[in-house]
Structure 1
Amino acid sequence: MKKSFLSILFCFFSILSVQAQYQADWKSLDSRATPAWFKDAKFGIFIHWGLYSVPSWATKSNADGFGSGYSEWYWQRLHDPKLKIHKEFVAFQEKVYGPNFKYQDFAGQFKAELFNPDDWADLFKEAGAKYVVLTSKHHEGYALWPSAESWNWNSVDVGPHRDLAGDLTKSVKNKGLHMGFYYSLYEWFNPTYKSDVNKYVADHMVPQLKDLVTRYQPDLLWTDGEWDQSSETWKSKEFLAWLYNNKSVSENIVVNDRWGNDTKGKHGSFYTSEYGQGTSSGTHPWEECRGIGESFGYNRNENLEDYMSSDKLIHSLVQVVSKGGNFLLNIGPTADGRIPVIMQQRLKDLGKWLNVNGEAIYGSESWKNAPQASTDSTVFYTKKGKDLYVICAQWPDQIAIKGIANPKNISMLGYKGKIKTSQSKGKIVITTPVITPRTLPCNSAWVYKIEGVL
C-alpha cells in the first residue's frame, strides 16, 4: 500500500513537472527555442485597424520625432499640449468633427460594413505572406473582440457589432497561414491604469491577454506599449510561463521582445526593429516592421510619394532576409473594412515576385561569408543547405563572387536559358544573359542560384 501511494505521488509530481516545463524566470523562458515556422516564414502582414481608422489622419511633420506621422496615435496627439503637432490635430478635429466631438464618438462611426475576412485572407495568401498580425487592441484600449475587460469598448458591444479578430482568425487559418495578434500592454487613458497600475495588470491586462490566447489560439503575440513599465510590473515572466506551458499554443507560439522597458533586444522568441530603428541580430531571430507609407494606421493625409514603390518594398524584403530577419509589412484598412487599392497593388506585386523567387527567401539563412553590405548595396545573399542565392537589386552585366568554387549548377530563378560562367582566382564570374521582355522572369531583383558550393 505504501509503495503504491509513493508511486502515485511520484507520477503526480512528474505530471506537474512536465506541464510546468517553463518557470517564471528569464533563464527558463529564454531556454525555449524559437519554433522553426517563424524563422522559415520570412514574410508577414501587419494590420493596424481600430477607431483611429475613422479620422485616419496624421500630420506629415516630424517635429516631435520618430512616429510623428502615425495616425493610430490620433487620440494621444489630441490630448498632449506639449507636442509641437498638438495644435494641428486639434484644428483638424474641430474643423471636421466639431468642437464638442469626443474620440469615444468615433466608435459609432467604426462600422466595418465592407469587411470581408475571406477576401483579406485571399490577398495575404496571394502576397506570399506566411503569417498575419492583427492589432487586437492598440493604446486606445478598444478591443477587436468581445473582451469582458473592455466592456462597451470593443467591436461587439459598440461599432461593428462583430468579432473582427475571430472572423479574420478563422479566414487566415483556413488559408493555411499563421495567425497572430498585436496587443498593447498599456492604455493611454484607462482610469485604472492611471491610478493603480498593479490593479490594471492583475484585473485587466493579464486576464485580457489570457482570454485572447484561449479564444483564438494564435501562433504569435506581438506586444507593445511596454516602455511605460518594467517587466516586473507587467508580470511578463509569469504570463510567458503560463503561455509557454499552455498546450493549446505551446508548439507554435512565438513572442516579440516588448515585455517591459528592460526586455527589448534581450528576451523573446524574436527581437523587433521598427522602420529600421530597433534590434537586429546575427544570432537571434529578429523582425523588421514598417508600413507601406509612413503610418501604420491608414492616413488620408499621405499621397503617392509617401508610399514605397513595389520595387523598394521587394528590395526591403530582400535586404532584411539577407541579414537573417523577417519582414512584417503593415497595411492600414479603412474604417469600413476595405484595404486601400494602392496597398492591394503593392501586396500583389510582392506576391508575383515571391512566386518566382520565393525559393531564395522562405526557409533561407544569411550567408555569413557575404561581402559587407553598405547602405547603397545592390547585391544580397541568402543560403539554403549547400546552395547560395545571389539577389541583384539592379540588373548587372557581370557578377564576381569570391570564396566559392566548383558549383554543380548555376541558374537564374524563373529563366530557362543557360547561364555563362567562368572561374578563376578563387571566384566565380557570372555573365548576365541577354533576355527579352518575354523571357524576363520578373521585373525586380533577379536571383541567381549557385548549387552545391557551401
Structure 2
Amino acid sequence: MKRRELLQHLAVAIPAITLPRLAQAAGGPGQEAMAAGPFSPSWASLTAYRTPDWFRNAKFGIWAHWGPQCEPEYGDWYAREMYIEGSAAYKHHLRKYGHPSESGFKEVIRQWRAERWDPDALVGLYKQAGAKYFVALANHHDNFDLYDSKYQPGWNATKLGPKKDLIGGWSKAARRHGLRFGVSVHASHAWSWYEVARRADQGGPMAGIPYDGGLTQADGKGTWWEGLDPQALYAQNHPLGERSADNGAIHQQWDWGNGAAVPSQAYCEKFHDRTIDLINSYDPDLVYFDDTALPLWPASEVGLRIAAHMYNRSVARKGAVEAVINGKILDAVQRKTMVWDIERGQSNQIEALPWQTCTCIGNWHYDRPLYDRKGYKSAQTVVQTLIDVVSKNGNLLLSVPVRGDGTIDEQERAIVEEIGRWMAVNGEGIFDSRPWTVFGEGPVMATAAPISAQGFNEGRNQPFTSADIRYTVKGNVVYAFVMGWPADGKVVLKSMGSASAHLKQRVARVELVGRGDPLPFRQTAEGLHLTLPADAPALSYAVALKVS
C-alpha cells in the first residue's frame, strides 16, 4: 500500500485512530508541548533546514549501540529472535534463561547490571581515535528506555536492570571530553517488532503455552514485577499484523505498509512524549531515528512534530539550528529536512547535501560468537570506509559493540586504538574538509554496488587497492588518499593532469602527510605522476598526499 493510500485508509477505514490535523498539531494531543519557532510540523516547513557546520566538519562519530539486548551477548535483535521457535537466539535463551513463557525479555532486563560501565574512560578512548561526536542508544525496538523516562516510568534503566541513568552518564562524559552528543531512538517499531512474543511453541513439551508477550499488569500479582504493566514494554494489546506469522515480513513493513498492524493514536502520542522528554532533559545535538523518514510516518505525524520541536528549540536556545536529525530511505524533499543516513552502505557519488553512513565493527548488539571467531571489521576497513564516505560529502558513525557489563573487549580496543594512530597522522585531510570536484578514481568507483533499502551495499564491492584514489579539499589544498602502498612506489593521480577540468591551476607542491618533505612529481596531460618515499609508513593501507 502506498503512503497516500495508507493515509486515506487510516482516516476512512479506522476512524478510531484518525490522524491529528496539521493545523492542530502545534501542541499535539500528547502531554509534551512543541516548542514555538519558525518550523511547523510539515515537510514543506522543514525544508528550510540547513545542516550545521559542526556536523559537516566532524566527519567521524562513534556510537554505543548498547542496551539490555547486549546482556545475553548473542547478537542483533535478541529480544525478537528469542521468541522465534527454533532460532539460534531461542535455543540460547532456553539454555541461559529458560523458556520464554516463564523467562521472557523482561527477565533479561532484570538480570542486566552494566556493573563495569565507565563512560568517561570509553568516551576518552573514542576521542583519542578521532571521534568528534558520540551517540548513545536511548532505546531500541525492545522499548526499554535507557534514561530517567517520565513516560516509561517502570521500564527504564533507572528503575530496572542497571538502575542507572545511562543517557545522563554518556551525555556528561561526551561533554567533558568536548564531543557533540547524540542519541539514537528506535522504539517506534516495538508495536510490530514484539508480535512474536505472543506466540507459543508449535511442538515439544511446552507446545501451546503462550510466551509472555500477552501478560498484563494483573498477571504480576506475587511476582518480582508486581505493579509493572508488561504491555507498557511489549505493546501487544492490538490485532496482529496480516503477515505476523512470516518472520521476515517485518522488513517490508518498516514504513507501516504491506499488512502491518497500524499503531494506535495513544501509542504514537506516548512515543512523541517520551522523545520530547528525552530531548528536553538531555539536550542532544543529534537524534538518530531508525525509521523510514521519521518515526511512525505515514501512520502518524508525531515524527514531524518532534522534528519541528527539536529545530525550534535549537533556534530558541542557540540562535540558529544547531541540531541534526538522521532518517533513512528519504525522498528528494525529505533529504532537505534532515540528514540522510545510509545503514551499512555508501553512496557512489558526491551528494549535494551532507549525509551519514552508520555501520558497526561487528553486529549491532554485542555478539560473543562473533568475538570468538575474530569476525570484527579491521581498522583498515573502517579507515578506508571513512575516507570513501568523506570524499562524497558524508560522515561515518561507527558502532563499537559494548558488552553487557559495560566494557568493550580487547579486540575492539585494538581496532579503536589503531584508528586513532592513523587519524593522528592523516586526520588533517579528513576533518573540516569538503568534497573536491570529483570524489575519486579507480576500479572500486567503476564497479560499486547499488544501495538497497536502507543501504546494505557494504562489503559487496571489491577491496580497495593502491589504484583507488579518494579526494577531499580544504581551501587551496587538495588531499589525495591512496588506498594502499604501491609495490613500485609510483602513483598517478589521473584527475590532476594538466588537461584536467578539475584543476584551476598547475600543481606547485606535493607532500606525504605526516612527513612534510616535498615529493618529486611530474604533471602531464594524463595525470600527476608521483614517486613515494622508499619507506612506507606504519599504516600504509591509506596514505594522504597533500597537493598545493
| TM-score band, normalised by shorter chain | 0.7 to 0.9
Hey, what's the Cα distance between the residues in 1 that align with 2:306 and 2:346?
27
Hey, what's the Cα distance between the residues in 2 that align with 1:52 and 1:291?
16
**1:344 maps to 2:413:** yes
- Residue number in structure 2 paired with 1:5: none
Q: Which moved more, 1:23-32 or 1:119-128?
A: 23-32
Hey, what's the Cα distance between the residues in 2 that align with 1:277 and 1:79?
33
Hey, what's the Cα distance between the residues in 2 that align with 1:279 and 1:381?
13
How far did 1:428 drift? 2.1
- Residue number in structure 2 paired with 1:446: 543
Q: Deviations over 1:355-385 (max 9, x none)?
A: 1111110111222235542344522111112
Q: Which one-letter code corresponds to 2:110 in the other structure?
A: G
Q: Secondary structure at the match of 2:399?
A: strand
Q: Which one-letter code corresponds to 1:137 in the other structure?
A: N
Q: Deviations over 1:224-265 (max 9, x none)?
A: 14588424514222221121111246642100124x997996
Q: Which one-letter code corresponds to 1:45 in the other structure?
A: I
**1:380 maps to 2:470:** yes
- Residue number in structure 1 paired with 2:81: 77
**1:25 maps to 2:122:** no
- Residue number in structure 2 paired with 1:400: 492
Q: Secondary structure at the match of 2:137?
A: strand
Q: Which moved more, 1:93-102 or 1:315-324?
A: 93-102
- Scaled by the length of structure 1, the TM-score of the pair is 0.84
Task: Report if the CA contact (8 A) 1:78-1:89 is conserved.
Answer: yes
How far did 1:92 drift? 1.5
How far did 1:386 drift? 1.8
Q: Secondary structure at the match of 2:51?
A: coil
How far did 1:108 drift? 2.2
2:429 to 348, 360, 369: 360
How far did 1:118 drift? 0.9
Q: Secondary structure at the match of 1:186?
A: helix
Hey, what's the Cα distance between the residues in 2 that align with 1:264 and 1:78?
39
Hey, what's the Cα distance between the residues in 2 that align with 1:332 and 1:304?
15
**1:418 maps to 2:435:** no
Hey, what's the Cα distance between the residues in 2 that align with 1:318 and 1:371?
10
How far did 1:174 drift? 1.0
Q: Which moved more, 1:90-99 or 1:210-219?
A: 90-99
How far did 1:344 drift? 1.5
Task: Report if the CA contact (8 A) 1:270-1:285 is conserved.
Answer: yes
The 1:280/1:450 distance shift into structure 2, 3 A limit, reads: closer
Hey, what's the Cα distance between the residues in 2 that align with 1:386 and 1:341?
41
Q: Which one-letter code corresponds to 2:524 in the other structure?
A: S
Q: Which one-letter code corresponds to 1:212 in the other structure?
A: L
How far did 1:298 drift? 0.5
Q: Which one-letter code corresponds to 2:323 in the other structure?
A: I
Task: Report if the CA contact (8 A) 1:231-1:237 is conserved.
Answer: no
2:128 to 126, 129, 148: 126
**1:213 maps to 2:279:** yes
How far did 1:29 drift? 0.6
Task: Report if the CA contact (8 A) 2:138-2:184 is conserved.
Answer: yes
Q: Deviations over 1:30-87 (max 9, x none)?
A: 1111111111111001111111111121xxxxxxxxxxxxx23111112245xxxx53
Hey, what's the Cα distance between the residues in 1 that align with 2:135 and 2:434?
23
Q: Which one-letter code corresponds to 1:409 in the other structure?
A: R
- Scaled by the length of structure 2, the TM-score of the pair is 0.70
Task: Report if the CA contact (8 A) 1:192-1:199 is conserved.
Answer: no
Task: Report if the CA contact (8 A) 1:360-1:383 is conserved.
Answer: yes
Task: Report if the CA contact (8 A) 2:485-2:540 is conserved.
Answer: no
Task: Report if the CA contact (8 A) 1:275-1:289 is conserved.
Answer: yes
- Residue number in structure 1 paired with 2:167: 165
Q: How many residues align?
A: 411
- Residue number in structure 1 paired with 2:364: 296
- Residue number in structure 2 paired with 1:135: 137
- Residue number in structure 1 paired with 2:228: none
Task: Report if the CA contact (8 A) 2:49-2:336 is conserved.
Answer: no
Task: Report if the CA contact (8 A) 1:264-1:271 is conserved.
Answer: no
How far did 1:273 drift? 0.9
The 1:382/1:261 distance shift into structure 2, 3 A limit, reads: closer
Hey, what's the Cα distance between the residues in 1 that align with 2:312 and 2:355?
23
Q: Which moved more, 1:312-321 or 1:269-278?
A: 269-278
Q: Give structure 1 stretches of 5+ with no counterpart.
A: 1-17, 58-70
How far did 1:146 drift? 1.1
Q: Secondary structure at the match of 1:276?
A: coil
Q: Give structure 2 stretches of 5+ with no counterpart.
A: 1-34, 195-232, 239-262, 447-460
Among the aligned pairs, what percent are the same residue? 27
